[in-house]
């Protein structure tokens, strides 16, 4: 019996060994070593980044006009995102690709898109970023609330972002936020990747969909709300709160079907963290709390979600109401009639961001239509995913896409609500599109060949929207020096005049020097300025004295903005400079090839000198 058992076991071992050696068995299919596709994935990423950095060595920024950076970046630059898209697609089709490589491709895309302006420009980009740096500086100088803030008083009532930056500067000993504000776009987008992945993993464990959603988000986020601003900060926290909430919903991947309950349910620590994040959002930005409440209301519509969502929603509502009734009460009381009136104009609110393009530059018209096309395409693709992927209907993604719509019809938010609604809907829409493109059954490579052109089209739309207006968003060192000269030399109470807001440092002393922006004035005032620049300036300079003169700043970026938007004739800067240089009383106190500053003071006797 022992011999028979031994022979039987020996034959079974021989048969098992023979079967294992047959083609098509599991052992035969197991890969040994690195495949050509894996080598390609590992080579393409560093190659694309090297080509990108090499392409930035010789870029003539002075050539920017209608299409901004699009028309001055060399061909080598555009090879980089194309290669990144190829490598990412190859990595996504191979289950053996590690998450680190997928993360590398997404971070590489972030670097190419968002670090390019930072590396190319000698100064901080975008006038609103300069404005927010000035607010942080004023908060430090006044040790809190800034007096005489005029139209920037809204930042006194939502000070969270500025107070945190002031604390950071004081703790580190840095002189100004200028030292790091220029790097906000790439750093913000890189940090945002973590809550995005957390949100996507709360919906699906399929890493193709998770990483595909991240890639699509960054390929479609053209709105540009990633600079040094409260909106970027609050949006990061918004995505984090939604991700933490979604991770606890019954239909999330964290739900324990065996036990029939939530994993860990609502732990006190998690809920406390969410409430803390909500408090920071409420104190930092007026719009984001409304977007958060709208999103949480949408998520609470399915009855199965309410046990999780309602406590979070209650926290957001209580905090927002308390803040509005106390700290933000002056602003809300002053603008209450405008808020109520806006509710009666939903059609105007929706279309206010779609500015008339008849007087804009030809290239700016093209860029604007590409923006609109990309935004519409994102919602169309998300709708298709809703129709052809039944499982996404059981998640909160469709609800999150629709959640910003009530705020869109309620207020125009200075013409920007349509763009903000797109921004807040984009994370959920990106994962829906990822489910449409990357949820494969058979033939994944063939399906990727179909998806790849669409990914390139989305990227092309992003570059148009994100780079197309850079002629007015970037500033030369001469323009910065002009703004800093006025801030350093203008006596308190001096009036600072500009044609547009595209002036770096225009608000560096906003609490002591009132400002006049001529493109915001009534149509009759602008018409008078166009007909005769000197006479057009007179109504805004009547209160100047020898002790409180006026400073008129004219610059290259203002001329570029006027040309792109068409709100004033494109030659207004040149004509104003020529007129003031020939008029007695206007003294050029700073001149550079990109900027000029005139000083004007009105004599008490009625003359000027």
Angstrom distance (rounded) from CA 364 to CA 68 = 9
Count Cβ atoms below 10 Å from residue 354 Cβ, excluding itself: 12
Place of tokens 């000698």: 122
Asked: is 475-600 a CATH 2.20.230 domain? The reply is no
The one-character DSSP state at 581 is H
Kind plus residue range of the DSSP H or E element containing 436: helix 417-438
Could you tell me where the DSSP H helices lie in 121-206?
A: 127-142, 154-157, 160-172, 178-181, 184-201
Q: Is the dihedral of CA 282, 288, 293, 296 positive or negative?
A: negative
pLDDT, tens only, 298-351: 999 999 999 999 999 999 999 999 999 999 999 888 877 776 665 556 555 455
What would the DSSP string read from start to end of 168-188? HHHHHT-S-THHHHTTHHHHH
What's this model's pTM, rounded to 2 decimal places?
Answer: 0.89
| Mean pLDDT, each 10-residue run in order, the chain (609 residues) | 42 40 37 76 96 95 94 96 95 90 97 97 95 96 92 94 96 92 97 98 94 97 95 98 92 47 58 95 96 97 94 97 95 78 57 58 90 95 96 95 86 76 97 93 74 94 95 95 93 94 89 92 92 94 88 96 90 96 94 96 54
Q: Which helix (H) or strand (E) holds 589?
A: strand 587-592
Strands lying side by side in the sheet with 587-592: 515-517, 495-498, 550-555, 595-600, 587-592
Q: Alpha-carbon distance 56 to 76, whole Å?
A: 9
Where exactly are the structural domains of the chain? 127-181, 184-471, 475-600
Question: What angle separates helix 230-246 from helix 417-438, to the nearest 10 degrees?
Answer: 40
In order, the DSSP letters of 74-123 are -HHHHHHHHHHHHHHHHHHH-TTS-HHHHHHHHHHHHIIIIIHHHHH-SS
- Give pLDDT, residue 542: 85
Given a contact cutoff of 8 angstroms between Cβ atoms, the answer to whether 272 and 228 are in contact is no
Question: Which residues, in sequence order, are CB contacts of 154 under 8 Å at separation 6+?
Answer: 286, 331
Helix (H) or strand (E) holding 220: helix 207-220
Distance CA 497, CA 488 (A): 16
pLDDT of 252 reads 62
The secondary structure of residue 602, as a DSSP letter, is B
Q: Secondary structure of 277-343 in the HEC alphabet?
A: HHHHHHHHCCCHHHHHHHHHHHHCCCHHHHHHHHHHHHHHHHHHHHHHHCCCHHHHHHCHHHHHHHH
pLDDT the model gives residue 417? 83
Alpha carbon 392 to its chain centroid, in Å, reads 26
What is the number of alpha carbons within 13 Å of residue 163 lying toward its C-beta? 15
- Find out whether 432 and 382 touch, Cβ atoms under 8 Å: yes
3-state secondary structure of 588: strand
The predicted pLDDT at position 11 comes to: 44
Distance CA 424, CA 234 (A): 11
Q: Which tokens hold the place of 545? A: 């004295």
Look at residue 199 in the predicted model and tell me its pLDDT: 97
């Amino acid at each position: 019996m022992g011999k028979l058992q031994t022979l039987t076991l020996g034959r079974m071992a021989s048969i098992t060994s023979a079967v294992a050696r047959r083609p098509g068995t599991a052992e035969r299919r197991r890969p040994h070593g690195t495949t050509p596709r894996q080598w390609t994935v590992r080579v393409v990423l560093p190659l694309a980044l090297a080509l990108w950095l090499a392409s930035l060595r010789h870029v003539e920024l002075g050539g920017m006009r209608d299409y901004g950076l699009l028309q001055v970046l060399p061909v080598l630059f555009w090879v980089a995102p194309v290669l990144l898209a190829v490598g990412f697609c190859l990595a996504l089709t191979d289950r053996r690709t590690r998450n680190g490589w997928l993360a590398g491709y997404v971070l590489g895309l972030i670097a190419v898109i968002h670090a390019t302006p930072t590396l190319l420009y000698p100064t901080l980009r975008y006038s609103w970023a300069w404005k927010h740096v000035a607010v942080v500086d004023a908060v430090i100088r006044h040790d809190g609330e800034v007096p005489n803030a005029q139209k920037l008083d809204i930042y006194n009532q939502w000070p969270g972002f500025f107070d945190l930056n002031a604390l950071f500067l004081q703790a580190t000993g840095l002189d100004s936020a200028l030292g790091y504000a220029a790097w906000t776009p790439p750093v913000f987008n890189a940090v945002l990747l973590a809550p995005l992945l957390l949100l996507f993993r709360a919906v699906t464990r399929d890493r193709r969909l998770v990483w595909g959603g991240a890639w699509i988000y960054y390929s479609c986020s053209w709105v540009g709300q990633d600079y040094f601003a409260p909106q970027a900060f609050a949006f990061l926290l918004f995505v984090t709160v939604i991700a933490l909430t979604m991770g606890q919903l019954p239909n999330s991947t964290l739900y324990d079907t065996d036990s029939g309950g939530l994993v860990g349910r609502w732990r006190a620590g998690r809920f406390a963290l969410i409430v803390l994040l909500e408090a920071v959002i409420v104190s930092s930005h007026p719009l984001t709390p409304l977007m958060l409440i709208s999103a949480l209301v949408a998520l609470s519509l399915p009855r199965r979600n309410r046990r999780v969502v309602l406590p979070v929603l209650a926290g957001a509502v209580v905090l927002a109401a308390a803040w509005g009734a106390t700290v933000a009460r002056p602003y809300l009381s002053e603008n209450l009639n405008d808020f109520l009136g806006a509710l009666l104009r939903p059609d105007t609110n929706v279309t206010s961001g779609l500015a008339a393009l008849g007087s804009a530059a030809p290239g700016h018209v093209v860029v604007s239509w590409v923006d609109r096309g990309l935004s519409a395409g994102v919602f169309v693709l998300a709708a298709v995913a809703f129709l052809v992927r039944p499982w996404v209907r059981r998640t909160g993604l469709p609800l999150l896409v629709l959640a910003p719509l009530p705020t869109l019809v309620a207020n125009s938010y200075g013409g920007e609500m349509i763009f903000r609604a797109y921004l807040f809907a984009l994370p959920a829409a990106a994962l829906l599109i990822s489910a449409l493109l990357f949820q494969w059954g058979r033939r994944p490579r063939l399906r990727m060949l179909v998806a790849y052109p669409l990914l390139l089209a989305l990227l092309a739309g992003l570059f148009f929207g994100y780079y197309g207006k850079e002629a007015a968003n970037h500033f030369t060192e001469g323009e910065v020096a002009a703004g800093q000269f006025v801030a350093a030399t203008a006596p308190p109470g001096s009036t600072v005049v500009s044609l547009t807001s595209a002036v770096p440092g225009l608000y560096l002393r906003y609490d002591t020097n009132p400002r006049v922006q001529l493109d915001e004035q009534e149509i009759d005032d602008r018409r008078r300025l166009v007909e005769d620049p000197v006479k057009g300036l007179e109504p805004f300079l009547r209160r100047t004295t020898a002790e409180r003169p006026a400073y008129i700043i004219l610059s290259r970026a203002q001329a570029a903005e006027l040309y792109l938007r068409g709100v004033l004739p494109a030659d207004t800067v040149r004509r104003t400079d020529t007129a003031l240089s020939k008029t007695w009383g206007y003294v050029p106190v700073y001149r550079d090839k990109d900027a000029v500053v005139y000083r004007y003071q009105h004599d008490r006797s009625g003359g000027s000198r």
